[in-house]
Amino acid sequence: MNFISLDFIIFLLVTLLGFYSLKDKWRTPFLLAASYFFYGYWSIPYLFLLIFTMVVDFYFAIKIEEAKTQKLRKSFLIFSLFLNLGILFVFKYFNFFVDILHETVGMQIKESHLILPFAISFYTFHAMSYVIDVYRHQIKAERNFVPYSAYVMFFPQLVAGPIARAQHLLHQFREKKYFKTEQWLSAFWYIACGYIMKMVLADNIGPTVDYYYYETGPEKTPFNIVQATYLFAFQIYFDFAGYTSIAIGIAKLFDFELVKNFERPYIAQSMTEFWRRWHISLSTWLRDYLYVSLGGNRHGKLKMYRNLMLTMLLGGIWHGANLTFLLWGFLHGLYLVIEKVIKSFAFTSSVSNYIPKFVRIFIVFNLVSLAWIPFRCKTIAESIERMQLFGHWFIHPLSYISFSDIQRKLWILVIGWLVFEWITEKWDLHQRFIKSNLVVKYCSAYAAIVIIVLFAQTNPEAFIYFQF
């Protein structure tokens, strides 16, 4: 079920009614059953696959905690990780590696025709982080399968995150839940913002990006490719941040708190800052479970650079079984390594102080946008062609400049929302809305509904991150 479908809205209303009609001790089992239905609505066989992996991880976490020796603890951890990564490999990466073997050494292996399980990357990371945290003594192994399963399966964040850690979310399934007016007002704010970001902004931008990226005629000029690339940067932001906002809002309806996943990433003044603002739950996951496990910055600068590059390469391939995602990860790894190298020179800190803030933001935004090209393209050849056009316009910036009517309207929408985000943060409109009088609340709700009805695409597209 898609968050923007009528089926989901009906499902959500029924789930809310059932949740608050039950006694507290039955609410977590009810939410678990609802989450099973939510996933099973797409595929019942893969629901059983997901339940199987949860049972195995639940068992191994307990065995890790009970193990008497470090060697035995590590063995149980390896078994659990092998299972999770093995399933991920079979369903998501098998054909990718078959193609690589065929192209490089001519090896003929029959490709798999298995359908990629819905949300496999996200629930795999949920499960792995739980077992690793138990292994690291950061949390205790859960002895009750119901709250553990509800943590992994919690439907608002199951499909596309945020990637919740057990220490943040699991304990919430053991706490009493209440109907709170303030929580519901906050939920409305997040859900309304999410629907606007997705249906009004992302879905209106999408067709223009598709057109200019795959147009073969005279309209595929360097300037139009630059525009399409910039617009895609905002499309994927509005699409994914919109999903996260809706997920956070839905969780609040049930008195649950999910972690923040975006914090105005395109005002970052460095690549390191960008990754502190973009897909925060993934970037912190990669840092804590991959970068740190590889050694982090503990063994000298060269190994730190290696670890950064490996982390971003693996972060890239996590998004999809395609060399374009690997190129996207490589570019971000390269950016971070170059940034670290530059900062290692003592004089650079004083020099950077003289670079205006807007210049640093402009540079980072363009580097991020350049990397979005392979993320958006289907092949390396397409990526290189569009990256060349992107670079060509910066060499001749006064050439090919032209805006169509639809492009002007899209940029008005983008700039308007960015201004709204700035005002929201500066004056904390979220809290002001919650504490406002009924007239302001009703007017705000009416305005949000009118905006969605008037400007939303009639045929909304699936969320981009559903494919991962």
pLDDT for 425: 83
More confidently predicted of 334 and 107: 334
Under the banding of pLDDT at 50, 70 and 90, the label for residue 371 is: very high
Q: Does 217 have pLDDT greater than 70?
A: no
Q: What is the mean pLDDT of residues 254-268?
A: 90
* The pLDDT value given to residue 63: 92
Q: What is the dihedral of CA 52, 53, 56, 61, to 10 degrees?
A: -150
Catalytic residue (one of 319, 392, 396, 430): 319
Burial (Cβ within 10 Å: 0-12, 13-18, ≥19) of residue 271: buried
How far is 281 from 285, CA to CA, in rounded Å? 6
User: Given a cut of 80, is residue 258 above it in pLDDT?
Assistant: yes
In the prediction, which pLDDT does 309 show? 92
pLDDT category at 222 given cuts 50, 70, 90 is confident
According to the model, what pLDDT value does residue 342 have? Answer: 85
Q: Nearest 10 degrees: CA dihedral of 162, 163, 164, 167?
A: -140
Cα–Cα distance between 174 and 253 in angstroms, integer?
17
> DSSP letter at 112?
P
- pLDDT reported for residue 236: 92
- Could you tell me which residues come within 8 angstroms of residue 376 by beta carbon, excluding any fewer than 6 positions away? 209, 213, 229, 232
**For the chain, which residues make up each domain, given as ranges?**
6-177, 182-467
Average pLDDT, the chain: 85
Amino acid symbol at 455: F
Q: Kindly report, residue by residue over 82-135, the tens digit of the pLDDT.
A: 998 888 888 777 777 777 776 666 666 666 666 767 778 888 888 888 999 999
Peptide bond into 147 cis (omega under 30): no
* Strand residues in 108-150 grouped as ranges (E): none
For the chain, percent helix, then strand, then coil, each to nearest 5? 75, 0, 25
Q: Output 109 or 207, whichever has higher pLDDT.
A: 207
Q: What is the per-residue pLDDT for 467?
A: 66
Q: What are the tens digits of pLDDT across the range 270-320? A: 999 999 999 899 899 898 888 888 887 787 888 888 999 999 999 888 888
Q: Using CA atoms, how far apart are residues 399 and 392, in angstroms rounded to an integer? A: 10
**Mean predicted confidence (pLDDT) in 234-250:** 92
pLDDT at 112: 62
Those residues with Cβ within 8 angstroms of residue 252's Cβ, 6 or more apart along the chain or in another chain: 183, 184, 186, 187, 190
Query: Quick check: 435 and 189 in contact, CB under 8 A?
Result: no
Amino acid identity, position 295: G
- The residue among 320, 357, 360 whose CA lies nearest residue 339 is 360
Alpha carbon separation from 436 to 189, 426, 440 (Å, rounded): 13, 17, 6
Per-residue pLDDT, 376: 87
pLDDT of residue 191: 92
Give the pLDDT mean for 24-47. Answer: 88
Q: Look-up: residue for tokens 């190298």?
A: 341
CA distance 200 to 461: 11
CA distances from 31 to 74, 148, 154, 182, 300 (A): 33, 12, 7, 22, 47
- What single letter denotes the amino acid at residue 233? A
* Three-state DSSP class for residue 26: helix
Quick one: DSSP state of residue 379? S
Q: Which two tokens stand for residue 307?
A: 């670890």
Beta-carbon count within 10 A of 439 CB: 8
In angstroms, the first-to-last Cα distance of the chain is: 15
Phi-psi region of 398 (alpha: psi -120 to 50; beta: other; left: phi over 0): alpha
- For the cut 80, the answer to whether the pLDDT of residue 26 exceeds it is yes
> Is 332 in the active site?
no
User: What is the reported pLDDT for 102?
Assistant: 64
Query: pLDDT tens for residues 389-438?
Result: 888 777 766 566 666 767 778 878 888 888 888 888 888 888 888 888 88
Own/partner contacts of 422-428, CB < 8 Å, gap of 24 or more, are 422/264, 425/264
DSSP for residue 217: S
Q: How far apart are CA 319 and CA 465, in angstroms?
A: 8
Task: Judge whether residue 451 has pLDDT over 70.
Answer: yes
Torsion angles phi and psi, residue 228, rounded to 5: -65, -35
Burial 12-44 (b: 16+ CB within 10 A, else e): beebbeebeeeeeeebbeebbbbbbebbeeeee
446, 218 Cβ separation under 8 angstroms: no
pLDDT tens per residue across span 2-18: 788 888 899 999 999 99
- As a whole number of angstroms, the distance between CA 318 and CA 372 comes to 15
pLDDT given for residue 210 in this prediction: 85
CA–CA separation, 75 vs 88, rounded Å? 20
If you average pLDDT over residues 248-256, what whole number do you get? Answer: 92
As a whole number of angstroms, the distance between CA 60 and CA 54 comes to: 10
Return the pLDDT at 68.
85
Are residues 73 and 134 in contact, defined by beta-carbon separation less than 8 angstroms? Answer: no
Mean pLDDT for 30-54 is 88
pLDDT in the model for residue 104:
67
Res 349: pLDDT = 58
- Stretch 60-76: mean pLDDT, rounded? 90
User: Has residue 454 got a pLDDT over 90?
Assistant: no
pLDDT tops 60 at residue 378: yes
Q: Which two tokens stand for residue 96?
A: 């990718």
User: Sorting pLDDT into bands at 50, 70 and 90, what band is 369?
Assistant: very high
The predicted pLDDT at position 293 comes to 86
Tell me how far CA of residue 341 lies from CA of 318, 445, 465, in angstroms: 26, 49, 32
As a dihedral over the C-alpha atoms of residue 411, residue 417, residue 423, residue 426, rounded to 10 degrees, the angle is -100
Model confidence at 59, in pLDDT bands (50, 70, 90)?
very high
- The pLDDT > 70 percentage for the chain reads 91
